[in-house]
A and B are shown apart, each in its own frame.
Chain A
Amino acid sequence: MHAVRIAGAGSTAFSASPERTGRDLFGEAARIAIEDSGVPRADIDRLCYGNFAGTVTERQGHQGPLMAEAAGVTAPATRYESACASGGVALRSGVEAVRSGAVDVVLVGGMERMHNVTTERATEGLAMAADDLYESRAGVTFPGAYALMARAYFEEFGGTRADLAAVAVKNHRNALGNENAQFQREISTTDVLEAPTVADPLGLYDACPITDGASACVLVSEEYAENHDLNASVSVTGSGQGTDSLALQNRESLTRTPATERAAMVAYDDAGVAPADVDLLEVHDCFTIAEVLALEGLGLYDPGDAIDAATSGETTRDGDLPVNLSGGLKAKGHPVGATGVSQVVELTKLLRGDHVNSSAVPDASVAVAHNAGGTVASATVHVLEVRS
């Protein structure tokens, strides 16, 4: 198996930018990542690109060729769609392509543009990640589905809205100074608790924002990095993916996320690491409860135990296990199809030492990225390690 290095990484600013087209956003992220890598465009063998709702928001299908052109790349290009895990599955496909020896250089990335449509239309687009017949038609929205999971969690394990608020407060604080983050401002527990309800028990500040943006990474084989004298100190050493029933009603538990559990098991095994080896994580906190479920699914906490991880300070910047130092989806923003790649962009910088929050993890060598689709019917987990 060929080892995979991250030669370059970049994102656009994450924001509300309704007037920027998807091709412009992805073109920028790809340009930054390619420049960061020092790899000539002609050497790129493949584009693996994630996007969720482009057929709804931009009425644009067949985005692979469009985005290859935007990146100035003539390699074969494919769009991957797994809702909010679109970026993660695109990344995984790129990792597998390099590992197999089929290619030496892959551009992976993702993009989402949603502010060019109304909030109602965006809500409808996001709801398409759920089961159309049995969930969306019955009125279950994306926040509604996570609210169903949050109430089930409170019923089974206890916990309060204040515990969830601590996740939001932590992630907003982490986004301070992250120039790409959508919200670079602190919020208080009171702000979270007093925000308008979106779907009880979840309020507006329990939810990540709607975001326009794109991210990209250049993956290369270790041989290519050595032969071209690239500065690529971060390696993707583990990759896993898991799938669960699409509809919540078809699952045995509403408080467990077996897709994450399966993806993590494969990725840890792949990398030869255990949960205790992990120094920092970017996890899929589309809602505050989602960060709790992710930490438990990843095996870092037992079921029912991650609810007060933020409250107790364990997952804050100065805690034993910093989670979402980028600000997470919650404050950095969630350009759906880009998120899985954006997590790896942030972790790469955190590990290389050129992230605004690198000082929080000076000795870190093992990082984990967790990307989830819908109500975690899809999940990818990637292990990143610093290699000399």
Chain B
Amino acid sequence: MREPREEGYDDLLDALESDTGYYLSCPAGHGSLPPRQVCPRCGDELSEETLPATGAVVTFTEVAVPTPAFAGKTPVVLIADFGPVRLTGELLDGSDILEVGSEVVPTVASSPGGDRHVGFRLASER
């Protein structure tokens, strides 16, 4: 893990790893991801809410020319819709059956370079 920790971001990754994912919401229901001081859309105050267990894939790609942190890999990255928020991350299994609309479960992944980031597993593979 990158040192020092990054408050908010690493806290969310820890939560995703223990299946207790959350997102931030303002009173108007605008979802966002940490770290945030205020709602990015209306500037109102934020509370932590439970992240739905699965999200639906909105779009994806396999990156054939990766950054040095992913040297030797061709990561499949996707954006999944959880309702109040969307999350971007790396697919860790099932890329051969991935399609737009697939249900995914968020977790934590590591790049060969050692950084942690949001990962996903196909819900159907669990």
Contact = CB atoms under 8 A, between A and B. Distances in A.
Nearest to A144: B63
Nearest to B8: A133
B28 interface: no
A196 B75 contact: no
Nearest to A151: B59
Contacts of A212: none
A155 B100 contact: yes
Nearest to A245: B40
Given A138-B117, A151-B59, A249 B65 contact: no
Interface in A108-139: 119-121, 123-124, 127, 133-139
Nearest to A248: B79
Contacts of A152: 58-59
A200 interface: yes
A247 interface: yes
5 contacts: A138-B75, A138-B77, A140-B88, A148-B77, A196-B64
B9 to A, nearest CB: 5
A136 B2 CA distance: 14
A141 B69 CA distance: 11
Interface string B19-54: 000000000000011000000100000000000000
B102 to A, nearest CB: 13
Nearest to A121: B68
A134 B67 contact: no
Nearest to B10: A133
A295 B90 CA distance: 31
A149 interface: yes
Nearest to A126: B67
B6 A151 contact: no
A148 B67 contact: no
Given A149-B59, A245-B40, A250-B86, A199 B79 contact: no
B59 A141 contact: no
A121 B71 CA distance: 11
B66 A138 contact: no
Contacts of B33: 134, 249-250
A136 B60 contact: no
A137 B117 contact: yes
Given A139-B75, A199-B61, A199-B63, 5 more contacts: A139-B77, A139-B111, A144-B63, A198-B65, A200-B61
B88 A143 contact: no
B88 A248 contact: yes
A206 B67 CA distance: 19
Contacts of B68: 120-121, 123-124
B60 to A, nearest CB: 7
Contact of A120 (B60, B67, B78): B67
Contacts of A254: 58-59, 79
Contacts of A198: 64-65
B105 interface: no
A197 interface: yes
A147 interface: yes
B98 to A, nearest CB: 11
B115 interface: yes
Contacts of A138: 75, 77, 88-90, 109, 117-118
Contacts of B62: 197, 199-200
Given A148-B77, A249-B79, A197 B64 contact: yes
B87 interface: yes
Contacts of A149: 59
Contacts of B67: 120, 123-124, 127, 136, 139, 141
